[in-house]
Amino acid sequence: MFKIAVAGTGYVGLVAGVCFAERGHKVVCVDIDKTKVDLMKSGVSPIYETGLEDLMKKNYKAGRLEYTNDYESAYKDADAVFIGVGTPENEDGSANLSYIATVARQIAETIEKDCLVVVKSTVPVGTNDKVEQFIHDFLINDVRVEVASNPEFLAQGSAVHDTLNAKRIIIGTQSSWAENLLQKIYEPFKLPVVSVNRKSAEMIKYASNDFLALKISYMNDIANLCELVGADVQDVAKGMSFDDRIGSKFLNAGIGYGGSCFPKDTKALEYLATQNGYDLKTVKAAINVNKDQKTLMYKKASNRLITFNGLKVAILGLTFKPGTDDLREAPSLENVPLLLNQGADIYAYDPIGAGNFAKVFPEGKSRKGSIKYVSNIEEAIEGANVCFIFTEWGEVKAIDAQVYKKLMRTPLVYDGRNLHSVEEMEQAGVEYYSVGRAPANKDGLKELRKLELQAARF
């Protein structure tokens, strides 16, 4: 078993640290934020991840997991330091490496024995060479330090499960010393290991994420065409999925990908290509499709309604995907200001993301419209003139078509995640628009309303 330090306690760092402890290593998680460290010591996770807190408590109690903001004590005698700090996007699409540089320097100035520095954060190809050089430049003691690349493929919401059951562990090293050490660290996980050179490991991460982003954008592009020619994108995806060269996953059309990885990693790879004088046409196309897709539902609704001014607008789902409170690059962040500028009175529901969203758009009057956060779906849609679905939460999917019809002032629904059955919406008398599928009651509602009015008169 090894003594491991992990720098950064975000999704990547904390989950990795906890999982290393769970597999028997002695782990110390380092974060500069003292409040966060105290919180973690009390067993509370600073991020929402299924199963994470239980493992934090279990391993902390067993003495395999510690938290500290004293990086010196954590790094000085570690066999390996894993770096899991953020690499946010710069204005020009490049990755901001300042957090990595800070940690690299701290490591160089504190380690007292041979140490493998393992970069888990997603970094542009070639960065690990620079990190290694940087550490050597600042190294104080006469010890062996090498840098390895070990990209992370976890998805938020299932981070612990994804880490403990990873499809593959990518190890990018430049020496057999580093390769052997990292292989031994991962031995207790009993997972397939792919050992390559450092630059290939860095590229595997981008190539994988960007491929998935491309797959989603491709399906969104096809979905838009399906609508125009009268095909149904869900049927098309189903038909495609039986070919195992295509696979059945990541074929869901919707209002685009968000989150901390796909938007950032597509832009970073495009930036890398441009820097190298190469035009990365496919990834560029994925980025452009995604940009347009995010406001698709808003555009559709704008064409249908004269104005949003004074309308009660229900929003179901704010986070970029279900199972997380993360809002990074969520389509809601682009749609809400558009609606507020148009004077909409928004009633937003999200089971766990509303608190974070309220930090960006505080409750109350804002711009021309207003926003209110409600704790149940009924409150959001009751009396609403229009409803937008932005996240595929299970509880939103479970809403019966009749509920929209019964509770909304006008049953007009824009579903950005294709959660509901077009047939059921049609039968329930809900005017319904989704992505890459035929609408329900597009022209039929006027007739339906006429009949209802007539019935009410007699």
Residues at the annotated binding site?
A: 31, 36, 87, 122, 205, 250-254, 258, 264, 321, 328
Q: What is the DSSP letter of 188?
A: G
Nearer to ligand UDX, 267 or 321 (CB): 321
Alpha-carbon gap, residue 358 to 362, rounded angstroms: 4
Residues in CB range of 165: below 8 A, 6 or more apart? 191
Nearer to ligand UDX, 272 or 430 (CB): 272
> Buried b vs exposed e over 179-203: b needs ≥16 C-beta within 10 Å?
bebbeebbeebeeeeebbebbebbb
Q: Give me the least distance between CB of 48 and ligand UDX, in Å please.
A: 12
Alpha-carbon gap, residue 219 to 237, rounded angstroms: 8
Q: Give me the least distance between CB of 77 and ligand UDX, in Å please.
A: 31
| Cα–Cα nearest to 172, from 154, 194, 152, 191 | 194
Using CA atoms of 281, 85, 318, 418 in order, give the dihedral in degrees to the nearest 10. Answer: 40
The answer to whether 71 and 110 are in contact (CB under 8 A) is yes
Nearer to ligand UDX, 320 or 414 (CB): 320
The answer to whether 81 and 28 are in contact (CB under 8 A) is no
Binding stretches for ligand UDX (CB under 6 A): 152-156, 209, 212, 216, 250-252, 254, 257-259, 261-262, 320-321
Nearer to ligand UDX, 13 or 254 (CB): 254
19, 29, 226, 261: which is the annotated catalytic residue? Answer: 261
Rg (CA), the chain: 25
The label of the residue with tokens 């299924």 reads 50
CB atoms within 10 A of CB 446: 10
Nearer to ligand UDX, 8 or 254 (CB): 254
Return the SS3 of 5: strand
Residue 29 is a catalytic residue:
no
Structure tokens that stand for 422 in this block:
């077009």
Helix axes of 127-138 and 198-229: crossing angle, nearest 10 degrees: 140
Structure tokens that stand for 44 in this block:
């509370």
State how far the alpha carbon of 131 is from the alpha carbons of 96, 294, 340, in Å.
13, 36, 45
The answer to whether 81 and 117 are in contact (CB under 8 A) is yes
Q: Give me the least distance between CB of 155 and ligand UDX, in Å please.
A: 4
Return the SS3 of 95: strand
Return the SS3 of 275: helix
Alpha-carbon gap, residue 24 to 185, rounded angstroms: 10
Alpha-carbon gap, residue 454 to 211, rounded angstroms: 55
As beta bridge partners, residue 431 has 412
- Per the annotation, where are the binding residues for substrate? 205, 250-254, 258, 321
Q: Give me the least distance between CB of 35 and ligand UDX, in Å please.
A: 25
- Burial class from Cβ neighbours inside 10 Å (0-12, 13-18, 19+) for residue 85 reads buried
Helices marked H in 169-307:
176-186, 198-229, 233-241, 262-275, 281-293, 296-304
Structure tokens that stand for 154 in this block:
């976890």
The catalytic residue positions are 261
